[in-house]
Amino acid sequence: MNQTLDSSRLATGSQANAQQTGANLGHPQIVRGITRATLRKDLRLEWRSKDAINSMLFFSLLVVVVFSFSFDPSAEESRQIAGGLVWVAFLFAAVVALNQTWARELRNQVLDAYRVSPAPPNSLFMAKVLGNFIFVAVLETLMTPLFIMFYRLRALGPAWPLLLVAAFGTWALVVNGTFFAAMSIRTRSREIMLPLLLFPITIPALLAMVQATTSILNGEGARFWIVFLLTYDLVFTTTCLLLFETVLNAE
Amino acid sequence: MTETVAVITVFNLIKQFGRFAALRGVTAEFAGGKLYAVLGDNGAGKTTLLRTLAGLNQPSSGRVSILGAIKFHDICGQVGYMAHPSLLYDEMSGAENLAYFARLYGIVDSQRCAEVIRAVGLDPTLARPVGQYSQGMRQRMSLARALLNDPKILLLDEPFSNVDLRSARDMVHLLAGLRDQGKTIFVVTHQASLLEGAADEFIWMEAGKIFARTRSFQPPGNSA
């Protein structure tokens, strides 16, 4: 299998097509290509290891079952508490995925390979956010029927706005979570540090998610909370994108 | 063709980690197209110097200029870096790893990945994940990753560690060939004897400083 090492096998200069600089890799199409490649790589790694999704599913399942048996709520009570219960469960479960996101970049110091390359830091960040969004969305898709079944949930009005709440709420969790997970990777107790950094800043979004969910389940309007979530997402996505390069290169 | 112009200039480079100074005023010039062996005891500052050249450590003070650029970002596409850890994903095969890292350099040609894998003596069709490679294979694949972007400057940290003697000699042969093609190569190693006859210069470090530069691998002075 192993052959002799031979430098003459290597094309150099223009043949190698590799004299890229930071400047010409900043083209939007190339940035999107790097984001896609990083996202594909993360999904592939998760598919093979299933580290994040298994931990998230197990944790959420515990919350659903234990709380259901502990309280045994009526349909009316469920509508009142479901918003809080569902989103707190997803928030805690998401933290598990968020810790995994950067942990795999620290094994073998792979993150350094990204840092020495001309690839833009925000491509890495967006790929991680999208990857986490997919993981948490998969979790939500799998867990929602169980929540409905165990808590006998039935919305009194149209339920479709819950999709908007889920999308904007999940984005709020993962965009901040990915950013603060990146900040805490070099700290000694990052599993503790991430919730400490993330939860206070997520409270406004969490409040909006819970209020919107409860309102929709009770057949009331949730327009204000949905717009609030959208605004929160825009503000924090922009802030995280502006600051991520500093976080990535921090020593 | 061997260049003689300085491609890397380091001036009064100081790197502190808290109160500990890993580099204490390193000043040096390195000509292009040469193979440098960076030697010294543990804690001498070899890896810190290499990481600073690779843009991974920000100098506390002093200046680094590579290929005329002060900002590493401007020339990062022309530098290849191999660290002591593999910088590879254990769950993916060598080819998958390289295909991903190639995209980071804007390389979309899959032939290039196969080419560098073959150049380091491995089989590009090997589907086994890197986590199941032997240490020697992992080092070779790590070297392939560093060569992917056809860099003008190669920074290699302990490329021969945990590698059997034959593979290490093969790697030296490869590096000498790359140097002959005009690349400037820095090898941080504790196995200086391997580079005897191949390295153009031996850079001796101690306590965060370069204290000697020699043509042979024998330590300067009487010290062993």
Q: Do B56 and A104 touch (CB under 8 A)?
A: no
Q: Closest Cα partner for B35 from B158, B145, B197, B166? A: B197
Kindly report the nearest CA distance between residue B201 and chain A, in angstroms.
21
Q: Which residues of B touch A22 (CB under 8 A)?
A: 73-74, 76-77
Q: Using a CB–CB cutoff of 8 Å, tell me whether B124 touches chain A.
A: no
pTM of the model: 0.88
CA distance A31 to A28: 5
Global ipTM: 0.91
Convert the pLDDT of each residue in B131-155 to its tens digit.
999 888 999 999 999 999 999 999 9
Q: Do B105 and A117 touch (CB under 8 A)?
A: yes
Q: Using a CB–CB cutoff of 8 Å, tell me whether A136 touches chain B.
A: no
Convert the pLDDT of each residue in B156-196 to its tens digit.
999 998 888 888 898 999 999 999 999 999 999 988 888 98
Provide CB contacts within 8 A for A132, sequence distance 6+: A94, A97, A98, A101, A174, A177, A178
Kindly report the nearest CA distance between residue A7 and chain B, in angstroms.
5
Contact call for residues B204 and B213 (beta carbons, < 8 A): yes
Q: What is the DSSP string of B65-91?
A: EETTBSSHHHHGGGEEEE-SS--S-TT
Annotated domain spans of chain B: 6-214
Helix (H, G, I), strand (E, B) or coil at B213: strand
Question: Mind listing the pLDDT tens digit of every residue in chain A (251 residues)?
Answer: 445 566 666 655 544 444 444 445 667 788 889 999 999 999 999 999 888 888 889 988 888 888 888 877 787 888 888 888 889 999 998 988 888 888 889 989 999 999 999 999 999 999 999 999 999 999 999 999 988 888 888 878 788 989 999 999 999 999 999 999 999 887 877 778 888 889 999 999 999 999 999 999 888 888 999 999 999 999 999 999 999 999 998 87
CA distance A225 to A205: 9
Please compute, for residue B15, the number of CA atoms within 13 A of its CA located in the half-sphere on the CB side: 28
Q: Using a CB–CB cutoff of 8 Å, tell me whether B122 touches chain A.
A: yes
The CATH superfamily label for domain B6-214 reads P-loop containing nucleotide triphosphate hydrolases (3.40.50.300)
Which ranges of A2-74 would DSSP assign to H, the alpha helix?
28-49, 51-71
Q: Do B89 and A104 touch (CB under 8 A)?
A: yes
Q: Which residues of A touch B175 (CB under 8 A)?
A: 7
